[in-house]
């Protein structure tokens, strides 16, 4: 067992050195300490790493909840239909970004000045950003991205829905 | 269970398990090494590590996997590398288990960093327990046949 532990320490040291050297040389390098929000609070605005200037506005859970209360806002769930049917923000419409071409009719039926909030699973998913960008490009004027998404919504026990939509 | 158990110390089975485990972990590491930013995001979404440790963990973990995998295959530092892999699989099981209890459907980041690779947490747990059996066997098997390095006899 002692032998095993000595080897373990050696392997970890070698792997760490390899990781650091390769990361330094790589074009995909990442900083050694990342800028991760420690605990996503309901008022912190989560912004994806690939966000650009000119992207639609990102909103916090609190703001998403406030917009949910005002009846004029349309929530768009950009996840796959299975995820949407399994559970979603109450009253949201499904426009899966990965199958966008099949949902163009739904998209075109939305008035351009409608207030829209896009979301997907949470910070592991950027579909809400992609759809938000595309819609803004297509001339939709009031797009907001709730990047905290389904995960934060569910954790806060805000109103949800499930099942197929007729 | 004694370490001199015939099944446990079988030379050929030892070799097969070593090769299998080695290949599994090398395969698992490749995608993560190729896209560390994506893997770091997956690690972050497990919500288990403090923010400062996420990037360094995401960078080092796949290299530990690949080094251990290579060592197991060629039979160098067999004890240490199989010990690490056992601890790692145990940690994976705990991490997935915690998020299963939390009710969070997460990306595994096991073999791929693609967002398309989503599996149920229960299936991931079952798979990891299977993997743990293999890594445990590789650790307990002290056969030195087919090994490049002379790992000390137990």
| Alpha-carbon distance A14 to nearest alpha carbon in chain B (angstroms) | 8
Whether A154 has a pLDDT exceeding 90, the answer reads: no
Average pLDDT, chain B: 87
Query: Tokens 């290579």 identify what position?
Result: B70
Residue A98 pLDDT exceeds 50: yes
What residues does A160 pair with on adjacent strands?
A: A89
Residue B111: C-alpha distances to residues A24, A129, B7, B33, B116 (Å): 23, 25, 30, 11, 12
List of residues 6+ apart from B16 with CB closer than 8 A: none
Q: Which pLDDT value is given to residue A125? A: 82
Structural contact between residues A103 and A95, judged by C-beta atoms closer than 8 angstroms? yes
Read off the pLDDT of residues A22-52 as tens digits, 9 standing for 90 and up: 999 999 899 998 877 655 566 777 777 778 8
Q: How confident is the model at residue B152 (pLDDT cuts 50, 70, 90)?
A: very low
pTM: 0.67
Token pair in block for residue B151: 């790992």
User: Which DSSP symbol is given to B72?
Assistant: H
How would residue B103 be classed by pLDDT, with cut points 50, 70 and 90? low
Which pLDDT score is estimated for A152?
Answer: 87
Q: Do A79 and A131 touch, CB atoms closer than 8 A?
A: no
- Which of B1, B14, B8 is closest to B146 using CA atoms? B14
For residues A27 and B35, give the distance between their C-alpha atoms in angstroms, rounded to a whole number. 10
Contact A8 B34 (CB under 8 A): no
Residue in A3, A7, A16, A22 to test binding to B, most B beta-carbons within 10 Å: A7
Residue found under tokens 């599994």: B24
Residue B101 CA to residue B104 CA, distance in Å, equals 8
In the DSSP assignment, the letter for residue B75 is T
ipTM surpasses 0.85: yes
Question: For chain A, what is the HEC assignment?
Answer: CHHHHHHHHHHHHHHHHHHHHHHHHCCCCCCCCCCCCCCCCCCCCCCCCCCCCCCCEECCHHHHHHHHHCCCEEEEECCCHHHHHHCEECCCEECCHHHHHHHHHHHHCCCCCCEEEEECCCCCCCHHHHHHHHHHHCCCCEEEECCCHHHHHHHCCCCEECCCCC
Length of chain B counted residue by residue: 154
* Interchain CB contacts (distance < 8 Å): A and B: 99
Which residues of B fall below an 8 Å CB-CB distance to A? 33-37, 40-42, 44-45, 50-52, 54-56, 58-60, 62-64, 66-68, 71, 77, 79-84, 103-107, 115, 139, 151-152
A12–B64 C-beta distance less than 8 A: yes
Radius of gyration (C-alpha) of chain A in whole angstroms: 20
Closest-CA distance, B56 to chain A, in angstroms, reads: 5
What is the rounded distance in angstroms from the CA atom of residue B22 to the CA atom of residue B18?
Answer: 6
Measured CA to CA in angstroms, residue B84 lies from A21, A27, B138 at distances of 22, 29, 11
pLDDT band with cut points at 50, 70 and 90 for residue A120: very high
Average pLDDT value for residue range B82-93: 96
Query: Buried (b) or exposed (e) across A109-124, using 16+ Cβ within 10 A?
Result: eeeeeeebbbbbbbbb
List, for residues A124-152, the tens digit of each pLDDT value.
788 999 999 999 999 999 999 998 899 88
Distance from CA of B14 to the nearest CA of A (A): 17
How many C-beta atoms surround the C-beta of residue A67 within 10 A? 19
Indicate whether B101 pLDDT > 60. yes
């Amino acid at each position: 067992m002692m032998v095993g532990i000595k080897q373990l320490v050696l392997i970890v040291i070698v792997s760490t050195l390899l990781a650091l050297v390769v990361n330094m040389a790589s074009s995909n390098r990442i900083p050694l300490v990342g800028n991760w929000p420690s605990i996503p609070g309901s008022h912190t605005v989560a912004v994806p790493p690939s966000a650009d200037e000119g992207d639609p506005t990102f909103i916090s859970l609190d703001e998403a909840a406030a917009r949910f209360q005002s009846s004029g806002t349309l929530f768009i769930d950009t996840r796959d239909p299975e995820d949407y049917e399994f559970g979603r923000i109450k009253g949201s419409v499904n426009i899966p970004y990965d199958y966008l071409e099949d949902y163009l009719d739904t998209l075109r039926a939305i008035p351009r000045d409608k207030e829209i909030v896009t979301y997907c699973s949470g910070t592991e998913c950027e579909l809400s950003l992609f759809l938000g960008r595309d819609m803004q490009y297509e001339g939709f004027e009031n797009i907001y991205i709730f990047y905290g998404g389904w995960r934060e919504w569910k954790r806060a026990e805000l109103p949800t829905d499930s099942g197929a939509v007729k | 269970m004694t370490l001199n158990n015939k099944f446990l110390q079988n030379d050929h089975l030892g070799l097969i398990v070593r090769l299998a485990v080695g290949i599994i972990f090398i395969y698992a590491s490749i995608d993560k090494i190729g896209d560390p930013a994506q893997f770091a995001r997956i690690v972050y979404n497990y919500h288990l590590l403090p923010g400062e440790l996420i990037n360094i963990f995401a960078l080092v973990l796949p290299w530990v996997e690949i080094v251990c995998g290579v060592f197991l295959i060629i039979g160098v530092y067999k004890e240490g590398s199989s010990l690490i892999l056992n601890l790692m699989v145990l940690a994976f099981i705990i991490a997935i288990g915690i998020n299963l209890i939390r009710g969070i459907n997460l990306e595994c980041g096991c073999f791929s960093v693609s967002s398309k690779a989503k599996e149920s947490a229960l299936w991931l747990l079952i798979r990891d327990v299977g993997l743990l059996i293999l890594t445990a066997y590789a650790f307990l098997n002290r056969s030195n046949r087919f090994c490049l390095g002379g790992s000390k006899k137990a």
